[in-house]
Amino acid sequence: MGLTADARGVQVPCGQCGQTNRLRYGAVERETRCGKCQAPLPAANAPVVVTSAEIFDAMLAGASLPIVVDFWAPWCGPCRAMAPEFEKVARNTAGRWLVVKVDTDAVAELGQRYRIMSIPTLAVFRGGREVARRSGAMPASDIEAFMGA
Ligand code: ZN
């Protein structure tokens, strides 16, 4: 359903042996191999679930790719309806974008910091700064057009 992340990078499971590998933010676009079995690892091809403001800040500061964030919450129907579209975007832009989900109930600090007034809200960050924002559920094609992906 989503990838996990910590302050250093995104955790991606190896398709061959199941070992969790970390793609460091500074090299998140680079093709790499599993540290255990040496099979090629996929790029981050599912939404990355951010569970704290500290992790989000580390991602913003370090990521070598542009980031698109879906600010959402589990009780929001339009958010849930958009989730599979956002997953499509993550697959379509793997290796070119970091596709990120922030639950504004679970990580209220981020919702407040970015003054998220309605959900879903999508925001694009480049070089650590927010450069675009749009609210409302959209199909994958509209999300990618909004991103300029
Ligand atoms: Zn492996």
- pTM of the predicted model over 0.85: yes
- Rounded to the nearest whole angstrom, what is the distance from the C-alpha of residue 34 to the centroid of ligand 1? 5
- Which contiguous run of DSSP H or E holds residue 122? strand 121-126
pLDDT digits (tens, 9 = 90+) for 41-54: 989 999 999 999 99
Question: Does residue 1 surpass a pLDDT of 70?
Answer: no
Does 76 participate in catalysis according to the annotation? Answer: yes
**Percent of the chain whose predicted confidence (pLDDT) is above 70:** 99
Ion ligand 1 contact residues with beta carbon within 5 A = 14, 16-17, 19, 34, 36-37, 39
User: Exposed, middle or buried: residue 69 (CB in 10 Å: 0-12, 13-18, 19+)?
Assistant: buried
- Rounded to the nearest whole angstrom, what is the distance from the C-alpha of residue 31 to the centroid of ligand 1? 14
Which of 104, 119, 125, 8 has its CA nearest to residue 55? 8
The neighbour count for residue 11, using CB atoms within 10 Å, is: 15
- Rounded to the nearest whole angstrom, what is the distance from the C-alpha of residue 13 to the centroid of ligand 1? 8
- Catalytic pick from 14, 34, 37, 76? 76
Task: Find out whether 60 and 5 touch, Cβ atoms under 8 Å.
Answer: no
Question: Does residue 63 surpass a pLDDT of 70?
Answer: yes
pLDDT digits (tens, 9 = 90+) for 83-110: 999 999 999 999 999 999 999 999 999 9
Does 37 participate in catalysis according to the annotation? Answer: no
The conformational region for residue 115 under phi > 0 = left, psi -120 to 50 = alpha, else beta, is left
- Rounded to the nearest whole angstrom, what is the distance from the C-alpha of residue 33 to the centroid of ligand 1? 8
Residue 71 one-letter amino acid: F
- Rounded to the nearest whole angstrom, what is the distance from the C-alpha of residue 69 to the centroid of ligand 1? 29
